[in-house]
A = this chain, B = another copy of it.
Amino acid sequence: MRHGMRFLSLPEMVSRYVHSGATLYIGGFAFDDPLAVAHEIVRQGIRDLTVIKSSGGIVVDLLIGAGAIRRLLVSHLWNSVGPTPAHAFRRAVERGQPPIELEELSYGAFTCGLLAGGMGLPFMPTTPLMGTGTFGERTFLPDKLATVRSPFDPASEVVVVKAIAPPLGIFHVARVDREGTAQILGPVAETRLAMAACQRVLLIAEEVVDTAAIRSRPECTVAFGAQVEAVAVVPFGAFPTDCHGYYRRDLAYHLEYAQATASPEGFEAYVAREVRGVADHGEFLARLGAERLAGLATRQERWWSVA
């Protein structure tokens, strides 16, 4: 195809597209969170990223603790099982270890910013946020939010959010076909908007399926090959979060992560063992064990039926 979508391994994808100092949108909203990507970024020693992500979770916490992130735009960041603190995030913000620059939007404003960016429009009215800290506090995006007077009601000041249009985004999806048509099964949060907003889109997918399966659920399509730079097939790429139709979140792993990373030393040991201590995501999964992964599986045949 003219647009040149190609299949790559995850290490190849990360080394070709994600460079130190880059700005990177990471898909997922506490589901389809691509931990496999974060691990690979850390393994490749990439640093100084500007990361944009709606819901931080373990993916961003890990990247912060590993020193991969310089600037971060999020709407919230936690370990949602428990919930337990995201320790690396807390150490970075409370103690500057390591230092990050943090910028925040409410999830609604974040969504509207992606909507504007995805639609090719310069800004979008959004949630009234006057008086909130989110409106008032600005760091590396001093013009993230503003107000305009409504041309239809001069008495009314409307909060608007500037378009968010990241140069590069990486998203976990459920499945693709050979042409790169990508689907998420179930709720999509801001995924469609974010994929449109990103100038270039990378995908990691659970599997390649026959195009007949894609065509039986065309309403689940979130991207097509011509929008996509590259695809990596990475089973359990969203572990330990949910990939609907394939597996559910590993609750225990969320706690294990929180406990292991509660101290800086623990964090280092965790990364040495679980991230740098393995060659790739396959080895990471092998250590978890087939039985553990099988226990998470939720595959339902209705998603694959093409009758």
**Residues of chain A having any CB pair with chain B under 8 Å:** 116, 121-126, 143, 146-153, 156, 158, 160, 162, 185-188, 216, 218-220, 301-302, 305-307
Contacts and interface: CB of A to CB of B under 8 A. Distances in A.
A147 B152 CA distance: 10
Given A121-B126, A186-B218, 19 more contacts: A116-B125, A121-B125, A121-B158, A122-B125, A122-B152, A122-B153, A123-B125, A123-B151, A143-B151, A148-B148, A148-B149, A148-B151, A151-B160, A185-B219, A188-B219, A219-B219, A302-B305, A302-B306, A305-B307
A219 B186 contact: yes
Contacts of A305: 302, 305, 307
A300 to B, nearest CB: 8
9 contacts: A121-B125, A122-B125, A122-B152, A122-B153, A122-B158, A123-B151, A143-B151, A146-B151, A305-B307
A146 B147 CA distance: 17
A222 B218 CA distance: 16
A135 B122 CA distance: 19
A123 B152 contact: yes
Contacts of A148: 148-149, 151
A126 B149 CA distance: 17
A163 to B, nearest CB: 8
A275 to B, nearest CB: 34
A76 to B, nearest CB: 21
A184 to B, nearest CB: 9
A305 B302 CA distance: 8
Nearest to A128: B121
Contacts of A122: 125, 150, 152-153, 156, 158
A150 B121 CA distance: 11
A16 to B, nearest CB: 32
**Which of A125, A126, A158, A160 has its CB near the most chain B CB atoms (within 10 A)?**
A125
Contacts of A307: 301-302, 305
Nearest to A218: B186
A126 B123 CA distance: 10
8 tightest CB-CB pairs across the interface, nearest first? A146-B151, A121-B125, A152-B162, A122-B150, A302-B307, A148-B148, A143-B152, A148-B151
Contact of A150 (B123, B153, B301, B302): B123
A123 B158 contact: yes
A115 to B, nearest CB: 9
Contacts of A301: 307
B158 A151 contact: no
Given A147-B151, A306-B302, A124 B123 contact: no
